[in-house]
Amino acid sequence: MQELEEKYQRLRLSTGFLVVQVGVCPYSWDDECGSFVAHPYNFYVFPKEFRGQDRRFLCQTRCINFLSESNLDFNRVFKSGIPFMNRDQETNARACPPLNGALLDSIRRQVVGFLSDSSQASTVLPAMSNYHRKLSYEELAVTFKDAVTTDKAMVNGELCIRVSRTKHWGSMGSDEQSIWRTVNARVKGADEREIDEAVGFRHVIDLLSECKKPVVGHNMLLDLVQLHAHFVGEPPEHLAGFSAMVHERFGTVVDTKYVISAVPSLAKHFSGGTRLDHVFKTVHQKPFMHPAIRIALGHERYDDSKGQHLHEAGYDAYISGYALLRLGHFVMMESHDAPQQPLPKNTTGLTPRLRDTATFRPYSLLWDRLSHVSNRLLTVGMSSANAAACVHLTASGGDVPMPATARPEAG
C-alpha cells in the first residue's frame, strides 16, 4: 500500500497541468433495433478569468508536441473552450466582489435617484475613462434595460453619458423603494448568470454525479485525479480518502484495463497488450462480436474502427464504453457455462493500482446490471486526462504521468 500511496501523491502533483478536453459518451439501449447506441461528445474546455481570479497552469514541451501530433485544435481551446471551475473556486468567486463595484454602485444610485424624481428630464454621469464608460453602458443596459436611453454629452470639454427616461420607466417601480427592489433583483440575477457561466462545464460533471450511472474509463486513475481536481476540488490528501470520495460521488466506477487483467478468460485474448486502441481492435473480433453497438445520428465522425480519432477525448470515451459492453457480454455468456471466479477481496474494480477494501466494487455488480437492466442502463465513458494539457515529470524522476491514451503500458 505504501507504493500505491506514493503513486497517488505523484498524481496529485500533476493537477497543476490544465485540462483542455473532456470526452463524455452516454450509451442507451434501443429496444426496437436490439442494440446499444453511443452518443459521444468531445468538449474543449478552458478556464476564464473571473473577478481577478486569473488561473495559471503548467505546460511541458513533450505533451504539447504529442497533443499537436494528435490534431488537438489549440485555437479552439483558447478561443472557444467552455469555461469551468471546481466547487472550491466557485465558493471563492462568490465571496469576491465584482470588479469596479464602487463605480457601478455610484451609477445605480444616481440613476435610481433620477428615476425617482419626475422633475428631472435627464441626468449626466460624471466624466470617466473610455473603459469605465463602456462598463457604464453595459450596466445601464443590464440593470435598467428599456427604462432609460443614453446619448453623449460634453461637459467642460469632457465626454460624458446623458441618461434620459423612456415611456417604459414605470416598469422599474412607482417609487424609489420599489425601483431599488427591481435594481437589486436584476443585479443579483446578472451576478448569478455571470458565476453560472464561469462554472460552465462543471455543470456537466455535476449531472454525471447526480445520475449515478456507471462511469467507465481505461487506465483511468490519472483521469479521475484530474477530474476531481479541476471539477470538484482539491483531491484528498491520502489515497483511501480519494477512493472513498470517488465512489461516493460517482457510484460505480469501472476501469476496462483492470477488468481485462482481473478476468483470466479475458486476459488470454489480450496477450498483445491492453492499450486502449489495441483493446478496441480486439473487441471487433471473435469472440467479442456482441452486443450490437451503433453510433447515434449526428455523431458519425467517430463511426470507424481504424482509430483515426485516437487521443481525442470524445473518441476515447466512446471506445472505452464500447469495450466495456463487449467485454461484459463475453463474461456473461461464459457465466452460463461456468461459475464466475470472485475477485480478490483487496481490490476495488477501479484500477489495478487502486486497492482499498473499504470501497470494494466487484465487476460482478456491473455484469448483473448489464444482464438484468440493459434496457435502462446508461453507460458513461469518460476520458478527462487526454485532457491534461501537459506531461508531468516528478522531481524524483520516477513515474511519468502522461495523457490517458498515451501512457506507457506493459505489453
Q: What is the model's pLDDT at position 266?
A: 86
The C-alpha angle 370, 372, 374, rounded to 5 degrees, equals 50
pLDDT of 408 above 70: no
Segment 71-81 mean pLDDT: 90
Q: What is the pLDDT of residues 289-340, one digit of tens each?
A: 888 899 998 888 888 756 678 788 999 999 999 998 898 888 877 765 544 4
- Bridge partners, 36 (sequence order): 29, 293
Name which of 298, 318, 292 is nearest 307 in CA terms.
Answer: 318
Those residues whose C-beta lies under 8 Å from the C-beta of residue 215, and which sit 6 or more positions away, are 208, 250, 251, 252, 253, 254, 380, 381, 382
Segment 104-117 mean pLDDT: 95
Q: Which residue has the higher pLDDT, 369 or 104?
A: 104
User: Predicted confidence band at 395 (pLDDT cuts at 50, 70, 90)?
Assistant: very low
Q: What is the pLDDT of residues 245-281, one digit of tens each?
A: 888 888 778 888 888 888 888 888 888 788 888 888 8
Q: What is the model's pLDDT at position 336?
A: 56
Q: What share of the chain is helix, strand, coil (3-state, %, to 5)?
A: 50, 15, 35
Q: Radius of gyration over alpha carbons of the chain, in Å?
A: 27
The listed range with the strongest mean pLDDT (60-64, 129-133, 295-299) is 129-133
CB 23 within 8 Å of CB 315: yes
Q: Which domains does the chain have, with CATH numbers?
A: 2-84+200-406 (3.30.420.10), 101-198 (3.30.1370.50)
pLDDT of 1 above 80: no
% pLDDT > 70, the chain: 80
pLDDT of 381 above 60: no
Q: What is the model's pLDDT at position 130?
A: 94
Q: What is the model's pLDDT at position 263?
A: 81
Long-range contacts, stretch 162-167, CB < 8 angstroms, 24+ apart? 162/122, 162/123, 162/124, 162/125, 163/111, 163/114, 163/122, 163/123, 163/124, 163/125, 164/121, 164/122, 165/114, 165/115, 165/122
Q: What is the model's pLDDT at position 305?
A: 56
Q: What is the pLDDT of residues 328-379, one digit of tens each?
A: 888 877 765 544 444 444 333 333 333 332 332 333 444 454 433 232 333 3
Those residues whose C-beta lies under 8 Å from the C-beta of residue 353, and which sit 6 or more positions away, are 4, 7, 221
Q: What is the model's pLDDT at position 337?
A: 55
Average pLDDT, the chain: 79
User: Predicted confidence band at 10 (pLDDT cuts at 50, 70, 90)?
Assistant: confident
Show the cell assigned to 349. 474494480
Segment 40-63 mean pLDDT: 86
pLDDT of 158 above 90: yes
Cβ neighbours of 272 (radius 10 Å): 11
pLDDT of 69 above 90: no
CB 345 within 8 Å of CB 324: no
Please tell me the distance from the alpha carbon of residue 257 to that of residue 277, in angstroms, as a whole number.
Answer: 12
Q: What is the model's pLDDT at position 14?
A: 82
pLDDT of 227 above 70: yes
Q: What is the model's pLDDT at position 394?
A: 16
Least confident of 18-32, 124-138, 155-169: 18-32
Q: What is the model's pLDDT at position 335?
A: 66
Q: What is the model's pLDDT at position 28?
A: 86
Long-range contacts, stretch 139-144, CB < 8 angstroms, 24+ apart? 139/104, 139/107, 139/108, 140/107, 140/111, 142/186, 142/190, 143/108, 143/183, 143/186, 143/187, 143/190, 144/111, 144/172, 144/183
Q: What is the model's pLDDT at position 222?
A: 86
Segment 46-53 mean pLDDT: 85
pLDDT of 18 above 50: yes
pLDDT of 120 above 60: yes
CB 39 within 8 Å of CB 296: yes
